[in-house]
Amino acid sequence: MNIQTEFGITEALKNLGVAAKNNGTSTGLQSHGGDNFLESYSPVDGALIGKVSVTTQAQYDKVIETAQAAFKDWRDAPAPLRGEIVRQFGQKLREHKADLGKLVSYEMGKSYQEGLGEVQEMIDICDFAVGLSRQLHGLTIKSERPLHHMQEQYHPLGIVGIISAFNFPVAVWAWNTALAWVCGDVCVWKPSEKTPLTGVACQNIIAEVLKENDLPEGISCLINGDYNVGSWMTKDERVPLISATGSTRMGKIVGQTVAARLGKSILELGGNNAIIVTPDADIKMTVIGAVFGAVGTAGQRCTSTRRLIVHEDIYDKVRDAVVGAYGQLRIGNPLDEKNHVGPVIDKDSVNNYNKAIEAAKAEGGKVLVEGGVLSGEGFESGCYVKPCIIEAENSFKIVQSETFAPILYILKYKGDVHDGIAVQNGVAQGLSSAIMTNSMRDAHQFLSAVGSDCGIANVNIGTSGAEIGGAFGGEKETGGGRESGSDAWKAYMRRQTNTLNYSTELPLAQGIKFDL
């Protein structure tokens, strides 16, 4: 029996409408029918899962025109009604949770549990957005002029272009769309070319909801292809907001291109996340947080733990405990729930992993848990690598850069918590950070203005696994954008200040006299 049959992938593909001929001709706005195809190979077993047609420029233009037309209807719908559509979408996701979770796991390689978690994250953001659809509020402000009233309103922007990465192939799209839709925007999505089928599956689910409600399909559009297709969107003045997730290298290009036309962007880019372990930390909690953070999603989360910064007083104990825990890890087919770690996305990723280990060694790093590429039965795809741990220095060039693979650098710090914080902040990226401590003072120092410089700072929790209720994103080379919870919705709308005069005079602000 092959993996597809054994773990119900064949069935899941069928249920999600992406079985057999995935040439993108089946539904709505993915009907591009270009001659080029993206081929999706599973890193789990190396099998070709399906093909999706690449969008041509002419088809792209048609998609944008359809989206523009849909926006005219959608922005007029009351926001709670838009919320109702998102509620129905969330409901369908509940029904498809197992199938979509499996497809995410099979196409991307994360464990089935994490695949389910990702779909749950979509459901959670839908619930959040439904409530938000009745709360898109602005301030009222007292005017300096008599019988005048001031208020802020938030209006939809238009088309939101979403560029997402392979590592969270569906959740990050949902963070953007669920908010954008209740805000009255329409969305055009370019998923990663490494995970096009999860994109088609999501598009099928939302297309069904739109059809059932007699709404224009242009509210949710899908385009496919490599960075060229993405660049049509980043340069396109018809797309007022681009939300892009991926590498800092990509984000710099996207950010500059969008800024050159004075468009808006939300950038969620690279991380180099660390956990500081203070002398009084709980070692058991530290081990769970660090190991899940470093090996979860095979080290391919933006929030993955890359550096463990341990105080010298507790260093040997923490090092031994974490190294011991790595001995328990089972690597293999991520659909098989007894495995903790699945494959990385592709052979390029394997090369980057190998190169990073070599670079760390060349800079003087000491390998504590040996890495390596697995081969033999079950590892035929060539994408399974061993999570490894390297004792290193923060100043190493390789430690300063983000490698999307399960490599954990362990670093020692001396002195007080601010010495640990200096190491943690001493990188170009600023997404997620954590401290393991039982000291109330150290915890608060870490969270203070002179503490972590990241967008996410956790106490006694690892660096990954943020909930959708908070704003998600980071500082410095992480790009500064915020998605998901809190007031991140404001980035998907344009703010308008209204001043309304209900007197019979026309007094000027700042007391200026202008008599005629």
The three-class DSSP label of residue 416 is coil
Cα distance between residue 389 and residue 340, in whole Å: 16
Q: Extract the tokens encoding 381.
A: 């795809």
Give the Å distances, CA to CA, from 444 to 70, 334, 420, 450.
Answer: 48, 38, 14, 10
Minimum CB separation from ligand UN1 for residue 273, in Å?
9
- CA distance readout (Å), 222 to 155, 298, 316: 24, 28, 51
The rounded distance, in Å, linking the Cα atoms of 509 and 266 is 35
> In the complex, what is the shortest distance from the CB of residue 404 to ligand UN1, in angstroms, rounded to a whole number?
10
Q: Are 398 and 417 in contact (CB under 8 A)?
A: no
CA-to-CA distance for 383 and 294, rounded, in angstroms? 17
CA distance 137 to 89: 24
In 3D space, the residue among 87, 102, 80 whose CA is nearest the CA of residue 13 turns out to be 102
Are 167 and 302 in contact, with CB atoms under 8 Å apart?
yes
Question: Which residues are known catalytic residues?
Answer: 268
Nearer to ligand UN1, 106 or 168 (CB): 168
Phi/psi for 284 (5° steps) reads -60, -45
The single-letter code of the amino acid at 365 is: G
365's tokens: 């790093």
Least separation in angstroms between residue 352's CB and ligand UN1 is: 17
Q: Is there a contact between 382 and 408 (Cβ–Cβ < 8 Å)?
A: no
Binding site for ligand UN1 (CB under 6 A): 121, 167-168, 172, 245, 301-303, 464-466
